[in-house]
Amino acid sequence: MSENASRDTKLMRARPDASASSGRSAIAAFGVDALAGVLTALLALAYAAGYGATIFSAGLTPWISAGMPTALLSCVIVAFVVALTSSVPFMIAGPDSNATALLAGLASSVALSVHAAGGDDGAVLATVLMLIAVSSLTTGALLFALAHWKRGNLIQYIPFPVIGGFLAGTGLLLLEGALRVLTDAPVGAATPRLFMTLPWLASVPALVVGVGLFVLTRITPLSRYVIVLPSMIALGIVIFYGGLHGAGKSLEDARRMGLLFHYESITGMRLPFSLLHDAWLPTLVSRTPEILAVAAVSSMTVLLNATSIGVTTSRDVDFNREMRAAGIANVLTGLAGGLVGAQSMTRTITNWRLGVRERRAGVLAALFCLVVVARFPSLMALLPKPVLVGLQIFIGAAMLNEWLINSLRRLPWHDYLLIPAIMAIIAVYGIVAGVLLGVVAACMLFVVRYGRVSCFRLEFDGRGRRSNVERTVDESRALDGEARALYGVALQGFLFFGTAYSILTHILARLEASADAPDARPGVRFVLVDFARVHGVDASSTASFVRLREACARANAQLVLTGLSPGLKAWFAKGITDTKGASGPHEFADLDSGLEWIETQMLRALDPSRATRAGGFASTLPDTLDALRPHLDTLALAPGEYVFRQADPGDSIYFVETGRVTVALSVGEGRTLRLRSFGAGTIVGEMAVYTGARRSADVVADEPTVVLRLALATLKRLESDDPALAARMHKFVARVLAARLVAANEQIRAAQ
C-alpha cells in the first residue's frame, strides 16, 4: 500500500515538471516564430517600399504617396495566403522583384501613352493603378490554371539560356530602376552626370547597402545570410541619419530633398473597381502582350524559387500546390489593387535558418505588416530612400552576377551568347521582344544540334540481320551470298526535315556505291527502313522520303517499311505510300516480317523451280539421312495444331517435311511471342532431346504441315544397331547448330 502511494506521489510531482517543460518549449518556439516573423516582415516591407519606389519613379514620382500602398498591401495579402496554403510550412512570400522590374518600365510607358493621348494626371494615376491590379489578376489566373491542370513542371521545357537571359535582363532593369529612383530621371546618357551631382546622403547609403550586401553575400556562408542582410540595412540607416544629423538637417529637410517618402495608410487607397471610370482601358488593352509577359515571368519565378527552396532545405516541394497558393494570393491582391507577389527564396531561407518549421511565423509576419501599414505608416516614412535603392542595387547586381557571370562557366559558348543577347534586347526593345528572340534562337540551336544527332539505331545487310525463320543450311548459304542485296536501317527518335535529309543522303550514298561496284558484287535490291523506335515525324520531312522512294525506283530496289505506328501510317498515306503503284513501298508490321518477306523474295529469285507454295525450298531430308526415313513417324498437322507443348518431355526430334511451324512462348493474358519459325527441311525440338530438359516453349503449325518424328528411343536404338547412321544424324544436328551460332554471331557483330 505504501509503495503504491509513493509511486502516485512521484507521478504527481513529475507531471507538473513535464507540463512546465512543455510550456517552456512552447514559449521558446513562439518566441522564435515571433522573432522570425518580425524580421521577415521588416525585410518584406523594405523590399516592398523599394519596389513601389521603382514603379513610381521619374515621371511618376508625384503619385508615389498614392501608389506606395499598393506595394505594401501585397506584403499582407500574399504573405498571409501563402503562409496558410503552401506545401512548405515555413514559406514566406511577398511582392516579386522580377514582376516589379517589368511593371516599372510598363508603367512609365503607359503614363507616357496616356499623356500623349491628352489624358490628365488623374487618368495617368488611375491607368497605372489599374495596370498593377490587372497584372496581379492575370498572374493569379495563369498560376491557378497551371495548378489546376497540374502543369507545375512546365519550367523544364523552357531552355536554360532563355531563363538566364530573361533574369539577366530583369537584373539590368532593376539596376536601371534604382538609378531612376535616385536621380528622379529616366536612365540615359546624362545619368552618370546626374549621379555625380547627387548629395552624398543620397548616394553613399545606397552604395554602402547595395555594394556591401553584394560583396558580403558572396564571401560569407549561407548560414550567416540571416545576419548580413538586416545588419547592412541597419548600417545604411545609421549612415543616413548620422549624416543627416551631422549636416544639421531635419526630417522635413530630408523629405524636401526627396530622401524620405510620404506614406499613406492602406485604408485610404483606391480599389481597382473605383478606377474603371477614370482609367484609359484602351491603353491597357494595347499592353496585353506585356501584361501576359509579366504573368508568365511571375509563374516562372514561382517555380524557380520553389525549386531553389526545396534544394536548399532538402524538402519535397509540391509545385502545383505552390502555384495554386500563389495564384489565389495574386487574385486577392489584384482585387485589392496590390502588386504581383511570389514565394521569396531569400526570406524563406532566412525564416528556415532561424529555426522556423511551422506556419505560425509566416502568419505573424503578415499580421505585423498589416499593423505597420495600416496603423503606423509613419514608421515606414522613416525608412530612407537611399537604403531602399541600395536593396534594389543588390538584387539587380546579384542577378547579373548569377546569370551573366557565373553562367559563363556553366554553359557552352553558343548557349551563353544567348544570355547577353536577350538581356540587350530586353533593355532596348522590352521584355516581350527579348523573350521572343530567346525562344526563337533557342529553337534554332536545338534544331541544329538535334540535326547532328544520328537517328540511325542500326545499319545492317543480309548477313548481319536475319528473320526469325529457320532456314536450311543450303538456304542460309544462298542468303549469305545475297547478303549485300539488302541494305537496312533501323531509325530512332523524332524525325524532322534536318534528320530526314541526313537519312536520305546516307541511303542514297549507299545505293550509289552499290551501283558503282564491280559486276561480280551484287547491288542493293532491297532497302528496308524500320520505324519501330521512331516517336514521330515532322510533316516537313515528307519530301525527303518521297525522294527516297523515287531513288529506290530508279535503282530497281524495292523499298520496305516496317514498324509503322498508326500515326506514321496515316502520315505516309498522305504522300509517301503509293499503294496502287508498282513503286509503292511494301509495309510490314515489324522488322522480322519485313526481313522474312525479303529473304523469301531472294530465295525465289535464286531458284524458282525449288520454291514451294509457301515460298520456301523443296522439302526433302538431307541426302546423308535418306536411310533414316524408315525410322521416322509421319505426322500431318492442321493449322493451329501443336507439335508439342511447353513443359512436355523432350523425347523426340522433328523434321519439317512440308509447311511451317512456329516456336511460341506464352507471355500471359492469352498472348504469345513468336521466337522462331521453321520451314521445310529444318529440324525442331533437338535441344530438349540433347539436354534432357522439358520443352521450353510451344511449337504450333502455321499452315497444313507434315513433320517427321524421330523418337529418342529410336535414336538410342540406332546408336547400337546402326552407329554410322546415328553418327550422321548427330553430325547433321551439329552442323545445324553451328550454322545458327554463326548467324547469331553475325547479328551481334552488326549490332555493335
Are the C-beta atoms of 103 and 291 separated by less than 8 Å? no
Report the run of H or E that residue 194 belongs to, with start and end: helix 191-196
Q: CB count, 10 Å around CB of 234?
A: 13
pLDDT above 80 for 435? no
Q: What is the pLDDT of residues 230-257, one digit of tens each?
A: 888 899 999 999 999 998 889 888 888 8
Mean of the pLDDT values across residues 354-370?
90
Q: What is the pLDDT of residues 378-390, one digit of tens each?
A: 788 888 989 988 8
Per-residue model confidence (pLDDT) at position 86:
94
pLDDT above 70 for 752? no
**Integer angstrom CA distances of residue 524 from 279, 455, 554, 556:** 75, 21, 12, 9
Mean of the pLDDT values across residues 635-660?
91
Give the contacts of 194 (CB within 8 A, at least 6 positions apart).
Answer: 183, 185
pLDDT above 80 for 607? no
Q: What is the dihedral of CA 740, 746, 751, 752, to 10 degrees?
A: 130
By CB atoms closer than 10 A (0-12, 13-18, 19+), residue 157 is exposed
Per-residue pLDDT band at 747 (split at 50, 70, 90): low
Q: What is the pLDDT of residues 265-321, one digit of tens each?
A: 666 677 787 888 889 999 999 999 889 989 988 888 898 888 878 877 888 888 899
Grid cell locating 148: 489546376
pLDDT higher at 503 or 699: 699
pLDDT higher at 40 or 2: 40
Q: What is the pLDDT of residues 364-380, one digit of tens each?
A: 999 999 888 888 877 88
Per-residue model confidence (pLDDT) at position 584:
66
pLDDT above 80 for 648? yes
Per-residue model confidence (pLDDT) at position 255:
85
Per-residue model confidence (pLDDT) at position 291:
92
Name, of 24-38, 257-271, 553-567, the range with top average pLDDT.
Answer: 553-567
- Give residue for cell 529457320: 470
Grid cell locating 360: 505560425
Mean of the pLDDT values across residues 125-150?
92
Q: What is the pLDDT of residues 452-478, one digit of tens each?
A: 667 888 888 887 788 888 887 778 888
Sheet of 526-537: strands edge to edge? Answer: 456-460, 486-495, 526-537, 558-562, 586-588
> How far apart are the C-alpha atoms of 553 and 231, rounded to whole Å?
80
Strand partners, 663: 676, 699
Per-residue model confidence (pLDDT) at position 398:
87
Per-residue model confidence (pLDDT) at position 130:
93
> How far apart are the C-alpha atoms of 752 and 750, rounded to whole Å?
6
Per-residue model confidence (pLDDT) at position 574:
64
By CB atoms closer than 10 A (0-12, 13-18, 19+), residue 273 is exposed
Mean of the pLDDT values across residues 399-426?
86
Q: What is the pLDDT of residues 479-491, one digit of tens each?
A: 888 888 999 999 8
Per-residue model confidence (pLDDT) at position 614:
42
By CB atoms closer than 10 A (0-12, 13-18, 19+), residue 151 is middle
Q: What is the mean pLDDT of the chain?
A: 83
**Integer angstrom CA distances of residue 82 from 74, 124, 226, 419:** 12, 32, 21, 32
Report the run of H or E that residue 667 belongs to, with start and end: strand 661-668
pLDDT higher at 498 or 384: 384
Per-residue model confidence (pLDDT) at position 21:
65
Per-residue model confidence (pLDDT) at position 11:
46
pLDDT above 50 for 46? yes
pLDDT above 50 for 580? no
Burial 199-209 (b: 16+ CB within 10 A, else e): eebbbbbbbbb
Share of the chain above pLDDT 70, in %: 87
Are the C-beta atoms of 136 and 272 separated by less than 8 Å? no
Per-residue pLDDT band at 333 (split at 50, 70, 90): very high
pLDDT higher at 733 or 152: 733
Share of the chain above pLDDT 90, in %: 22
Per-residue model confidence (pLDDT) at position 28:
76
Kindly give the pairing relationship between strand 671-678 and strand 642-644: unpaired
pLDDT above 70 for 519? no
Backbone angles phi, psi at 140, to 5 degrees: -60, -45
pLDDT above 60 for 619? no
